[in-house]
Structure 1
Amino acid sequence: MRLFVAVTPPPDAIDELRSATAALRTGSEQLRWSAPEQWHLTLAFLGEVDDRARQDVVERLGRAAARHGPCTLSLAGAGRFGQRVLWTRVHGDVDRLRRLAASVRAAARRSRIAVEDRPYRPHLTLARARGDADLRPAVAALSGFAGREWTADELHLVHSRLGAGPDGRAHHELLRSWSLGRS
């Protein structure tokens, strides 16, 4: 089972971002836009996980969620990873979010799930380029976007099935959620 762990913005924050990106999403054939209903902040990508490791990580993620309180966050502006990925920035309690991501990754490693060992960069992926694309105009177009604050108060374990969604995109299925800061 292909899994990742994330927090998700509430519907009104998603709607703000959807409105801010609407003009960019129409007529942009070089970019494959993520479906707004699947927008999330990935804390850790777990990859393919067998049933035994999944059961173990579920328990560990519950404990990690209980140790970390909610985060006040907002989405603003944009950035890019090279010429392939367009994303929006995360502002607010990003240090708290980084600590949560570190706990999630530690839970995965203790469950014998290999996770990337690189610094966590809070962002929400908006689109991926089909080949290399000049993403600078899209970054510039979103530079003035500033979404409202919202509270990330749940941690989610998500099953991602590549190609199972509309237009051959990934389909995300929520497997489990935990409230942050509650035992």
Structure 2
Amino acid sequence: MKIYTKKGDDGQTAIGRGDRVSKTDIRIEANGEIDELNALLGVVRTLLPEEDKDALIIKEIQLVLMRVMGHVVMPDSVSPEGLETLTQRMEARIDALASAAPFGFVVPGSSRQEAFLHVARTKARTAERRLWAVREWWPIADEVMKFMNRLSDYLFAVAEKETF
């Protein structure tokens, strides 16, 4: 099987169950942002020890982001089930990290891990904004929106953990 199909050469791509849409469709843009975020989180995981609690949470987040991408193109078929539990776990981790150090404005770059975590945090915010744009036209579950909003907070907290 070839990795290329040539079907996208005309500026269209398949979405959901095969419907063709423009590559500029907001759902494609949102999924592109989420895909970039997922790749950045992969880089972040390589910079953290495998047994690090946050490395394990980030791996789970990556798997959930793939489901979120499916939900964007097939909201009736791909359930956001389980997002509420992961969001609560991220909130608990944010609270635990916040108790260890004060939070405020930061200048990223104190370490490679911290810098990449902040890049991932900003990409999470961009992906969230794109999802809000999608939600103006197509349904996106509340759990997805809450998860995406909390994700950038979580990444900020983990980035700051790397500075102390």
State whether TM-score is above 0.5.
no
Larger RCO (CA within 8 A; separation ≥ 6):
1
Structure richer in strand, relative to its length: 1
Structure richer in helix, relative to its length: 2
